[in-house]
Amino acid sequence: MFRVGIVGCGGIAQVHAAVLDRLEEARLAACADIVPERAAEMAERAGARAYGSLEEMLAAEKLDAVHLCTPHYLHAPMAEKAAEAGVAVLTEKPPAISREQWETLEKAAKKAPIGVCLQNRYNPNVQEARRLMESGAYGSVLGARAFVTWQRDASYYTDSPWRGAWATEGGSALINQAVHTLDLLVMLLGKPEAAAGSMSNRHLKNVIETEDTVEACLTLGGHPALFYASTAYAANAPVLLDIQMERAVLRLEGEEMEIRRAEGVERRTFSQPETLGKGYWGNGHFPCIRDFYRCLALGTPYPNRLETARDTVMLMLDLYDQGRKALESR
């Protein structure tokens, strides 16, 4: 059984801990957080030991893997430290907030496996859409569009000061709320070839220095794609993703799929056997994390390794190169 540590015991860490509690092949053995009470509470529930830092935990424990659920800017340096200790890493998104951090990760991955928690790749409707696209049942792919309209108010940022700052979050609406949807576009359509986008701060002016809205016109695998994300909506609506085929439109919305053809609309509903966290995030955490340990046990490459996340991360950083300049010049 794999002995596992979690670093950062906030909201998303609760999902990781719940998955580990359900897995037969892994056990949460240690928790670390700079807030002692958070680490102690998680450790008590799991029967684990609590620590005040990653370094302290690595020095005291013999771990097989660590989950990084810390603020964005810490993912890459913490992954480097864990890999140097020979410990496998599963990091929350984003794995890096700069190209320099990405280079750090690539070097670290030569010492230990590093996976990225891109859980929406495991959503059943996404898997079915990919199967239908590859089957050619509805002809060739023509393009796609995606919309992420969620709600984040000022308190979301003021309660966690690392958010909303370039140095610590690395962005906002794109890197935090919408990067999973950008990743699905890349996964389904193909390698990024061109990107033109813009960013703005429309409802969080004087609250954050980063963006609350982003739009982009992309070329992915030779196909046009439109992308829009904003945190200014009244609710956390299900992500909407349309894939335009020659003879149908595959519409993914939340856990559902519609196949829209001239003959009519076919609706399919999917559900995960284990749903954890907030539904609008995507409910793929359980299969995503389970697959990480399956690959560790078999010694096979994890589907969500750095190599397969690279195109998404580089596209995200390209969009920030464009959008950040405009925001900072205002």
Q: What is the mean pLDDT of residues 103-127?
A: 97
Q: Is the pLDDT assigned to residue 11 strictly greater than 60?
A: yes
Is the predicted pLDDT of residue 133 greater than 70, yes or no?
Answer: yes
User: pLDDT tens, 207-247?
Assistant: 999 999 999 999 999 999 999 999 999 999 999 999 999 99
Q: Convert the pLDDT of each residue in 49-89 to its tens digit.
A: 999 999 999 999 999 999 999 999 999 999 999 999 999 99
CATH of 2-116, one of 3.40.50.720, 3.40.50.10710, 3.40.640.10, 3.40.50.10300: 3.40.50.720
Grade residue 274 by pLDDT with cuts at 50, 70 and 90. Answer: low
pLDDT band at 325 (very low <50, low <70, confident <90, very high): confident
Write down the pLDDT at residue 282: 61
pLDDT score of 329 more than 90: no
Residue 330 has what pLDDT? Answer: 64
**C-alpha triplet 329, 227, 136: angle, nearest 5°:** 155
**For residue 277, pLDDT beyond 70:** no
Please check whether residue 249 is in contact with residue 242, taking contact to mean a CB–CB distance below 8 angstroms. Answer: yes
Instruction: Kindly report the pTM of this predicted structure.
Output: 0.95
The domain spans of the chain are 2-116, 120-280+304-328
225 touches 144 (CB < 8 A): yes
User: 218 in helix, strand or coil?
Assistant: strand
CB 171 within 8 A of CB 93: no
CA distance 176 to 43: 27
Q: What's the confidence (pLDDT) of residue 281?
A: 53
Confidence of residue 182 (pLDDT cuts 50, 70, 90): very high
Express as a percent the part of the chain with pLDDT over 70.
96
Which superfamily does 120-280+304-328 belong to? Dihydrodipicolinate Reductase; domain 2 (3.30.360.10)
Task: Out of 7-11, 107-111, 130-134, 326-330, pick the least confident.
Answer: 326-330
Q: What is the mean pLDDT of residues 263-283?
A: 73
Q: What pLDDT does 144 receive?
A: 98
Mean pLDDT for the stretch of residues 178-207: 96
